[in-house]
Amino acid sequence: MSPPVSESPKISEQTTQPELGCLVLVVNASKTDERVFSEFLHAEGHQVCSAQGMEQALRVYFQLKPDIVLVDLSTNVREGERIVRAVKEQDEYQFVPVLLISLQREDALLVKSMPFGADDFISGSFDADVLHSKMNAMLRLRAQFREQLNRHRELSHRHQNIIREHDRAERIFTRMLHPSVFNLPNVRHLLSPMGTFSGDFLLAAPTPFGGQIAMVADFTGHGLSAAIGALPTSNIFYGMARKGFSVRDIVVEINERLYKILPPEMFMAAGVISYEPQRSLVSVWNGGIPEIWLKANGSGLKATFASRSLPLGILPADQFDPQIERMEVETQDRIYIFSDGIIEAENLNSERFGLHTLKTIVEEAHTTQGLFNEIILALDTFRDGQEQTDDLTLMEFACDLDPVPSMGKVTASEANKPLSDWQTSLVLNGPTLRSYDPVPNILQQLVEIQGLSVHRERLYTVFSELYTNALEHGILGLDSSMKVNDEGFQAYIELREQKLEQLVNGQIEIMITHRAHSNGGRIHLEILDTGPGFDHTAPLPLLRNNKILFRRGIPLVKAICSELTYLGRGNHVVACYDWHQV
């Protein structure tokens, strides 16, 4: 048990000296012996008080609080022992020295009394030098004890302050990293830090276009130093996710910031995924964490995304090129992201949980329902109470969002925006097409100019689908029929990246016109590319019955827009979106 924590005293750096002018309690001495002790102690500069019997001795002890107690055993040995024990049991954190005295030669009796708590003894005839030496030794011990007690109290006080500061910082840290938007119904997670602050953290947020983006990150080290880098990462992630930026854009921005602020020995391994339900598409980036798994419902692993990039904060911006992988997903597919703390978790025999064990659990599960709980149970059973040696982090991401974009909510500031007519245009050429996605910025303009965040998801579907068609089929000349199955889809993605890298020529022009009416307006979108076009007269499959992995976007756009028309040779598309104030 620790002594009570009081206001923090100053730690003395002076050499410990015996106290002068102490109060000495003399117990059970005869009249003659008491007079002898008193004369000696007064001569030494001390004050003296006396008591007879246990009751009076304890009463005087608590009232006057002496600095040292002398107990004479000459008259009553058993009572003397009880007095010693009672004094020692009362003030656990004061250390009042107790000196046993018998002016007769009773060394064996005195030694036998020492276990009751006495600190030293004197036997035989009175010797002033011996008593002086013994008392000074006891008082030096008392002074040392008080000094150590003061040090202990100050350190305890400082420790309590540190704990309070850590608790306060942890609450702030948690609120900054895990705001309410993290409560996404299709995301489940385990986050078990090794200490107060975790080097691991999770971020997840809805995008303004009806999708979601999530990150699992693992900084080098543990504790506060590892957690500091999480704050700028969180700010960038949520700020860019809110505006609809892609995985690549977010990863590039975070890497540049961490490279500037982190010391050379620190970096952040991370995995980032985004999910676009309208296109049934996930984009995955893995930089230094274990494999990311895509689990199909009712079968084994659908895809494994190994690390293909260095962790964040190592390379400067001009050398950092994140490798993004894309995969078609279906309802009830699950994505599993975890830090190395999961597979390196140990049991009582210092054996590791291991990647193979975790992978076997995921692969052999007959359904994705309940798989997250099955993993947690298997991990807890394996560890069997063993203390953590690293942060434990696991995220399950369910691809279960509604593919049909919904209407959002109108904010108070947007409701007051005046209806107006306006137009804007943008022309992108070959080099710009390789690295720039104009859709998030265009939609941000629509929101800021006309207050259309309530329509953002639907507009994103229209803009992204038509722009993607112009880029992939018009400029790059890709054939959608390649996406007839999962393997073909992956080949399509790889060919897309390859052709983008080689792109030199080609141009896409985007023209947007808004015309206001009494209760809303019409957005007129035109996209014109320099590609060869396509046969836009061929019939499109119905949206509801289309089970293949391509040609699903245009029926969805047609269902959202009031008009959708292809002109010329199919490289010029016009879409009209009518909106009304809510």
The CA distance from 270 to 290, in Å, is 9
The CA distance from 577 to 560, in Å, is 8
Q: Residues 544, 417: one domain? A: yes
Q: Is the pLDDT of residue 527 over 70?
A: yes
* Residue 441 vs residue 582, higher pLDDT: 441
| CATH number of residue 326's parent domain | 3.60.40.10
Backbone dihedral angles phi then psi of residue 386, each to the nearest 5 degrees: -65, 140
Q: Residues 386, 526: one domain? A: no
Structure letter (DSSP) for residue 470: I
Q: Residues 119, 202: one domain? A: no
Q: Residues 322, 263: one domain? A: yes
Q: Residues 184, 130: one domain? A: no
H helix or E strand, kind and range, residue 341 = helix 340-343
Determine the pLDDT at residue 480: 79
Q: pLDDT tier at 581 (50, 70, 90 boundaries)? A: confident
H helix or E strand, kind and range, residue 559 = helix 553-560
Q: Residues 347, 482: one domain? A: no
List the single range of 69-73, 218-222, 429-433, 492-496 with lowest mean pLDDT: 218-222
The CA distance from 263 to 219, in Å, is 12
Using DSSP's 3-state secondary structure scheme, residue 72 falls into strand
| CATH number of residue 62's parent domain | 3.40.50.2300
| pTM of model > 0.95 | no
Please check whether residue 325 lies inside any domain of the structure. yes
Question: Whole domain around residue 504: which residue ranges?
Answer: 412-580
Of 373, 398, 423, the one marking the end of a domain is 398
Q: State whether the Cα torsion 469-474-475-478 is positive or negative.
A: positive
> Average per-residue pLDDT in the chain?
82
Q: Residues 368, 225: one domain? A: yes
Of 116, 151, 186, the one marking the end of a domain is 151
Q: Residues 344, 430: one domain? A: no
Determine the pLDDT at residue 385: 86
DSSP string for 63-88: HH--SEEEEE-SS-HHHHHHHHHHHH
List the single range of 6-15, 33-42, 68-77, 255-264 with lowest mean pLDDT: 6-15
* Residue 106 vs residue 296, higher pLDDT: 296
Q: Residues 362, 483: one domain? A: no
Q: Residues 292, 188: one domain? A: yes
Q: Residues 183, 304: one domain? A: yes
| CATH number of residue 545's parent domain | 3.30.565.10
Please check whether residue 137 lies inside any domain of the structure. yes
Backbone dihedral angles phi then psi of residue 567, each to the nearest 5 degrees: -120, 165
Of 398, 421, 454, the one marking the end of a domain is 398
Residue 559 pairs in a beta bridge with none
The CA distance from 227 to 194, in Å, is 12
Please check whether residue 311 lies inside any domain of the structure. yes
Q: Is the pLDDT of residue 166 over 80?
A: no
Determine the pLDDT at residue 306: 95
* Residue 340 vs residue 8, higher pLDDT: 340
Please check whether residue 156 lies inside any domain of the structure. no
* CB distance 86 to 69 below 8 Å: no
Task: Tally the domains of the chain.
Answer: 3
Q: Residues 392, 422: one domain? A: no
* CB distance 114 to 121 below 8 Å: yes
H helix or E strand, kind and range, residue 301 = strand 301-305
Please check whether residue 493 lies inside any domain of the structure. yes
With a pLDDT cut of 70, the percent of the chain lying above it is 83
Q: What is the pLDDT of residues 553-564, one digit of tens each?
A: 788 888 889 999
Please check whether residue 6 lies inside any domain of the structure. no
